[in-house]
Amino acid sequence: MSQTRNNVFDEIKNTFAQTDFPPLTWTTNNYNNLYAWLKLENPSQLTEAAKILQSLQARLCTITAYTEDRSNAAKQKAIAYHFAIHDILFCVTVQIYDKETLEPLAVPSITPYFRNADWNEREFMEMYNIKIIDHPNPKRLFLDERLDAGIMTQLIPFSSMVHGTGSRNLWEQVMLEKMGYVPESYKAALQEPEFTKVEETKKEAPKPQTEEKE
């Protein structure tokens, strides 16, 4: 490790050792890049963590909101805040739900400490329907106001969106009929619709608009 990195590493380690936060985890990769990981116990600790990271001259790289499992209806959301301090990447993770009731918790804005958190927080507010406390500019970033917050956590299959399922049902009906099997549920759908009979009237040929001259 270079001297500068050693100093930064020691400074981070010593600063966080003096707090009540859980201990940091350190990892490295094949290129000798160093990563620090901090897991907060609840969102109320975020402000304090942001304050410390600002004092360490951290740069906010980005913020990632995510659900802890694949279920669309997952209530267990969490946020990972990614910082760079010198050449070290520092990730702060916090679960934003009550551990017993699974009810979502609001998250304090870190924009007073990191100005570029503005767009990141606005993005996860609309994409994940996360409540932010004291955001200076809480308007939509990408999504139109008319769309529900959190809509991007739902997968709407393209076939459903364009009514492709209707075509699939019709195709299945045609194939079943060809095979000589018509299930009860399809019989009603296959019956010809009853139309009101309209007596055909013989239409007269339209008269020319201009009278022919003799």
Instruction: Give me the residues that bind another protein (CB under 8 A), please.
Output: 29-31, 33, 35, 59-62, 64, 66-67, 69-70, 80, 82, 84, 86-87, 89, 91, 114-116, 118-119, 140-144, 152-153, 155
Closer Cβ to another protein, 118 or 186, answer by number:
118
Residue 94: strand pairing partners:
40, 79
Dihedral (C-alpha) 14, 19, 23, 28: value to the nearest 10 degrees?
-40
* Spatial CA neighbour of 104 closest among 42, 54, 164: 42
Closer Cβ to another protein, 49 or 82, answer by number:
82
Closer Cβ to another protein, 144 or 194, answer by number:
144
Q: Report in angstroms how near the CB of residue 97 gets to another protein at its nearest.
A: 16
Q: Report in angstroms how near the CB of residue 55 gets to another protein at its nearest.
A: 14
Helices 46-55 & 3-17, crossing angle to 10 degrees? 150
Q: Report in angstroms how near the CB of residue 210 gets to another protein at its nearest.
A: 50
Closer Cβ to another protein, 84 or 174, answer by number:
84
* Spatial CA neighbour of 138 closest among 111, 114, 164, 156: 111
As given in the structure block, the two tokens for residue 182 are 């018509």
As given in the structure block, the two tokens for residue 196 are 């009101």
Q: Report in angstroms how near the CB of residue 119 gets to another protein at its nearest.
A: 5
